[in-house]
Amino acid sequence: MLRHEQNEFITRTGPGTPMGELFRRYWIPALLTEELPENDGPPVRVQLLSERLIAFRDSEGRYGLMDEFCAHRGVSLWFGRNEECGLRCPYHGWKYDVTGQCVDLPSDPEASGLRARIRLRSYPLVERGGILWTHMGSPDHRPGLPEYEFALVPPDQNYVSKRLQYSNWLQALEGGIDSSHVSWLHRDALRSDPLMKGARGNQYNMSDLAPVFEVADHPAGLFIGVRRNAEPGTHYWRITPWCMPSFTMIAPRGNHSVHGHFWIPVDDENCWAWSFDYHPTRSLTDAEVAAMRDGKGIHTRTLPGTHIPEANRDNDYLMDRAAQKAGLTYSGVAGIAMQDASLQESMGPIADRSIEHLTATDNGIIMARQRLTRAARALAENGTAPPGVDPATHRVRSAAVVLAAGQVFHEAAREELTARPGVAPASV
């Protein structure tokens, strides 16, 4: 458990907070590339780390991300006209380029020099792997672009989606590194989801409901190993890499694709749940992509024109008590993503960790909290760069393997936990 002040420290990510400054050392997902599909298209509202921003793509295809509000009278630039390499406020015609610089100020004489002094705060926006990434910290501390394997494979080998979650980012992340709940909450998916079913590892998940957790350090964060009994003398391991601050990868099942998440704060009470699937050595099939778009696997169906899930808190997540009673869905909520989100949101906007009772299966969560807290304090007090900012540390993989009893999981599976181009993932 965490004391109240510890919980406040680790969950708050607005400007000037220690955890917020930590997040601002990393490149984080801001938008799907498809959200800005054309030059001079409509601008898009973006809220990240409690900052309200506006994104647009100018006449030459350059991306911009800047303060949402015009420097004149505070009008939202979502109403702006995207024209001739800039976003023009419709109220009095002030116009800004993708760097936030005011390039036209019709209401003031050119000789005053005011236009040159008007500049909105802006951040870079760079496309990689179907995502527009941003870095919201000082340019002096801007690392190289992310090198997560899913973002580097050809476009036909990955699929990315996002959804809004009504909870603090940390309880979403903690769900992402907690593998013990899969045999309970997601047991129906292991049997029926087209992106999960048919794997031998599913049998191990269901035959051993008391997994053992072991955690090992990694330069970017942690390897969280979950051990279950397999054939006599062997153990089935599912190994999750966590890269700071909020990237996780889930071990594949059978011949299915690898998948994972980013959990990015919108503000302190909401987050973006980014989900990706990819395969290092082959294209995703039409059937796989169709299933992902239909909300199977770790993805979800969203309301048209939004990233709000169809099953959400306003409709009780379309809870089906009859299906729950019949065992068709263990929780009564359909789909892995919303099974997770419904329970994480039920904890409240920011979970009260002072009343929890953790067990040995929560070791990964405990160590992640400790890592985050230490890194944020070291950054605030000494300016120490946090783990995982170096793109070289992103070249990790999740893995599902069967190892002889007694083997040290992260040593025995060292090669399988490293991204190797042209090599298929380790899966059971």
How many other CB atoms are found less than 10 A from the CB of residue 217?
12
Q: How far apart are CA 182 and CA 201, in angstroms?
A: 12
pLDDT at 46: 98
Q: Measure CA of the first residue to CA of the last residue in the chain; give whole Å.
A: 34
Locus of tokens 């680790």: 10
Residue 289 has pLDDT above 90, yes or no: yes
Residue 182 clears pLDDT 90, i.e. is over it: no
Residue 150: Cβ-neighbour burial (10 angstroms; 0-12, 13-18, 19+): buried
Q: CA 377 to CA 10: how far, in whole Å?
A: 10
pLDDT in tens, 118-128: 999 999 999 99
Using the 8-state DSSP alphabet, how is residue 145 labeled?
P
- Whether the per-residue pLDDT at 202 is higher than 90: the answer is yes
In the chain, the percentage of residues whose pLDDT exceeds 70 is 100
pLDDT tens digits, 221-252? 999 999 999 999 999 999 999 999 999 999 99
Helix H or strand E encompassing 170: helix 169-176
**What is the pTM assigned to this prediction?**
0.95
pLDDT of residue 109: 87
Helices (H), 12-103: 18-23
Comparing C-alpha atoms, which of 190, 246, 194 is closest to residue 222? 246
Average pLDDT, the chain: 96
Burial of 360 (0-12, 13-18, 19+ CB in 10 A): exposed
Per the document, the length of the chain is 428
Domains of the chain: 27-141 (2.102.10.10), 149-417 (3.90.380)
Tokens representing 364? 């990964």
Q: Any residues with CB less than 8 A from the CB of 54 and at least 6 apart, and which?
A: 43, 44, 45, 46, 65, 66, 67, 68, 76, 77, 78, 80, 87
